[in-house]
Amino acid sequence: MFIECIRHKTEKDFQHFLHGVGLEEAADMDSLSQLQEYELELEKERENFRITTVEPVYHLRDDLQYRLTAHCSTANHISELEEVLQQVLFVRQQQKEVMDRLQCECATLQQNICVADLKEHLLSAAMGDQVAYLEKVPEVIFIADCPYPDLRSDLIHSFHSLTEKYKLRLSIVESRLQGLNRNCGWNAADHECFQHIMSQYSPSQRNQRSLYRDMLQRLLPHVTQQELSAHERWSDWYHFSMTQKSVVLQGWQRDHSELLLRALSVLEDCRISHIQQQDLQNQRSHQQNICLKLREKLQQWRIQQEEAAELEATLAAYWHKEEEERLRKEQQREKTRKAQLTQQINRFHAEKQKRREEQRKRDMKRLAELRREIEEQKQRDKERVKFRKELLQKKLQMRESEEKQKQKDDKEREERLKALCNQVSKVAEANPERMMGNTVAWRVRQLPEEVFALQRPLYQLNTYTDKQIVSDPRVRIEQALRTAESEPTPATDPESKPTPTLDTEPEPTPDTDLLPVESSTLELEPAAKYIQELLVLLKYKPS
């Protein structure tokens, strides 16, 4: 990348040098063509060098990357890697030898260029060729077709005056360069070091002069401050003089080209004007010959016209008499025709005036109708606008009423919600003693448990239980009647027939002797409640 940048910079400097010395517009372009051919040869050599030296290295790198990614670390692979490593070392040694050889060639070429002062010789030779070309009057001035010798001599004198003016300027600039060379009195190495350090510090940098002077004192300790300042002045003076010389040559080339173009345009204009004058002279001579011929023809024509005029005069007298008679009759007919035409015109104007009046009346009537329609339409529009405004006002009022109703409904809904919230809100007062005290269930659980002695029968009995007996409706009704004393019993009514009675307390059987008394007796309290409910249904009233 660094070599490419240096190469582009060198090519740019070379193109600027060619533009500065004016080789592109010089008469002899052989040197420029040779340089271009040499540039093509260098390009081919550089491409061959890249193919033979750089491309193999890239191929070897790609091969190594492929081997590292594709193969595993086995014994065979390790032996192959050793061979590849030897190959890489061999290629590296070759590249080192090539670079050493190139560096030697580069140093040799730089030394040869510095010793021979090739740039200075090229610049001086190019400037000399350019001055020799500009001193000569262009051959086209002598070859060009010019009908005026004085004009050609004036143009040649103008070229000589331009040459003298710029030669005087060049002599002044060259007098400044006397006693100066490219290195300004130093050897080539010190001067190149000086130029390199100067190029490292741009003029826009702060303390540029002190910085590069300090660097030069470090690199060139054998040079004193006075010598460095003097060399700096001589170098600036040398570059300024060379720039002035290049500017003078460019101005000479520009003025020479402009004068040449102006001279060629003047010669061309003179040639065209001379041709036009010759054409004009030829046209004039041709016109004079034509005028002589026309004059002769005109004379003959006049004689013939005089004879014809005499004949026409005699005929005209006869025709005049006939014409007067014809005109008199024609005037009479014309007078009659004009009278008739006047009458027709008067009738036409009268009819036209009448039609205009009728049309005006119709227009006035139509205008009145249109105005009336416009007024009616205007009134209808006003009523429509008024109706629309009222309708819009009604809509706005309805919308406002709806908004108010909606706000009222929202407010009522909020109030209802607030009332519901108040209903379900907490109203109990805080009672820390109850909250921290013992609960009823806890106190019940703290009581001592009662021991229930369950006496189980020796065997299972298949008989009626007390619940089954109480649930018998006959027992319930009889018990209710007994309790209510609503019907006479055999004990109270002697006339009544004896009826079988149901002993509610049967005698105990052997299998029930072991049961407690509480389990064999009837639970009369639930039965009484049930019978009382039944009496309510039967519309019996207990005493």
Reported as a single tens digit per residue, the pLDDT across 494-528 is: 444 444 444 444 454 444 443 343 433 344 455 55
Rounded distance, CA 430 to CA 244, Å? 111
**Residue 139 confidence (pLDDT) above 60:** yes
- Given phi > 0 = left and psi -120 to 50 = alpha, else beta, which region is 515? beta
Contact assessment for residue 28 and residue 129, using Cβ atoms and an 8 Å cutoff: yes
**Residue 74 confidence (pLDDT) above 60:** no
**Residue 374 confidence (pLDDT) above 80:** yes
Least confident window among 310-314, 339-343, 481-485, 530-534: 530-534
Instruction: State CA 152 to chain mean position distance.
Output: 64
**Residue 397 confidence (pLDDT) above 90:** yes
pTM of the predicted model over 0.75: no
**Residue 541 confidence (pLDDT) above 60:** no
Mean pLDDT within 231-244: 77
Residue-averaged pLDDT of the chain: 75
**Residue 149 confidence (pLDDT) above 70:** yes
Helices and strands, number each (H, E), in the chain: 16, 0
pLDDT band for 412, please (50, 70, 90 cuts).
very high
**Residue 404 confidence (pLDDT) above 90:** yes
Per-residue b or e along 461-485, where b marks 16 or more CB atoms closer than 10 Å to that residue's CB: eeeeeeeeebeeeebbebbbeebee
Here the tokens at position 99 are 């670079």
Contact assessment for residue 200 and residue 282, using Cβ atoms and an 8 Å cutoff: no
Here the tokens at position 139 are 């051959």
Greater pLDDT, 526 or 32: 32
Contact assessment for residue 457 and residue 515, using Cβ atoms and an 8 Å cutoff: yes
So what's the pLDDT on residue 433? 84
**Residue 344 confidence (pLDDT) above 80:** yes
As a dihedral over the C-alpha atoms of residue 488, residue 489, residue 492, residue 493, rounded to 10 degrees, the angle is 70
Instruction: State CA 273 to chain mean position distance.
Output: 61
Mean pLDDT within 106-118: 62
Task: Using CB atoms within 10 Å of the CB of residue 119, give its burial: 0 to 12 exposed, 13 to 18 middle, 19+ buried.
Answer: middle
Task: Using CB atoms within 10 Å of the CB of residue 228, give its burial: 0 to 12 exposed, 13 to 18 middle, 19+ buried.
Answer: middle
Greater pLDDT, 32 or 288: 288
**Residue 121 confidence (pLDDT) above 70:** no
Greater pLDDT, 400 or 479: 400
Task: Using CB atoms within 10 Å of the CB of residue 531, give its burial: 0 to 12 exposed, 13 to 18 middle, 19+ buried.
Answer: buried
**Residue 380 confidence (pLDDT) above 50:** yes
So what's the pLDDT on residue 120? 52
Rounded distance, CA 21 to CA 515, Å? 149
Greater pLDDT, 503 or 244: 244
Least confident window among 33-37, 357-361, 373-377: 33-37
